[in-house]
Amino acid sequence: MDFDTLVKFIRVQGCKVIVHDEKKKVDETLGYFIEDPKPQIHIATKGRKKYQLISTLLHEYAHFLQWEDGFLKYMDGICLAYNLWDDWLTGYVELNKREKQIVRNAILSIEYDAEIRAYNLGIQLKLKHFNPTYHLQTAQSYVAAIKWSFLCRKDWKKRVGIRLWPAKKLSFKKLFAPLKKREKKFLKKMKVKPRD
């Protein structure tokens, strides 16, 4: 199964997929899933390698599966994590230390679950161009970027220094652990623009 066949497969599962061939990013991301008004995935393909497209599409499809099986609704019952994160990053709301931890851990749980689902689907579907090493490294990078955003109150829409992160599945312990000294040092060097 290649990228185009995966797009068709996801559509058959009940999620619309909009491929933006002319764009490098959509809404400042490589791809995203939204549930309203109907579930749909948007993915930018310009200038990207096939293994990158497969990983992004699988990750967003995993968010659709989370929505479909009620996991996202359950997590929203804990807190509207992404809304709170965005409002806090832009300065619309202030969060105390405990509230930040709850929001951070909810987002990490959602993204971790999506990465594991996506990884397992890549293996099970025997997808052409699926690169397990790349996928696991981007997952580690993404988790580190989320953690870092809660330390510096900045966000960036890319996975950082992919080759520096281990190509292995995260344990729950590692998922919620603070960033290590060397990870912080590396992330501090990244050029991060505050949100507008």
Q: Own/partner pairs for 19-25, CB < 8 Å, 24+ apart?
A: 19/43, 19/45, 20/44, 20/45, 20/46, 21/45, 21/46, 22/46, 24/48, 25/157
Q: Look at 102 and 185; give whichever has higher pLDDT.
A: 102
What confidence tier does 34 reach under pLDDT thresholds 50, 70, 90? very high
Phi, psi of 115 (to 5 degrees): -65, -40
What confidence tier does 191 reach under pLDDT thresholds 50, 70, 90? low
**If we measure between CA atoms, which residue out of 78, 71, 74 comes closest to residue 102?**
78
Give this prediction's pTM: 0.90
Note the pLDDT of residue 196: 44
Note the pLDDT of residue 32: 94
**Tens digit of pLDDT for each residue in 96-152?**
999 999 999 999 999 999 999 999 999 999 999 999 999 998 888 888 888 888 988
Q: Which residues pair with 34 in a beta bridge?
A: 40
Within 10 Å of residue 177's Cβ, how many Cβ atoms?
A: 11
Tokens encoding 150 = 């809660």
Note the pLDDT of residue 85: 93
Q: Where are the domains of the chain?
A: 49-189
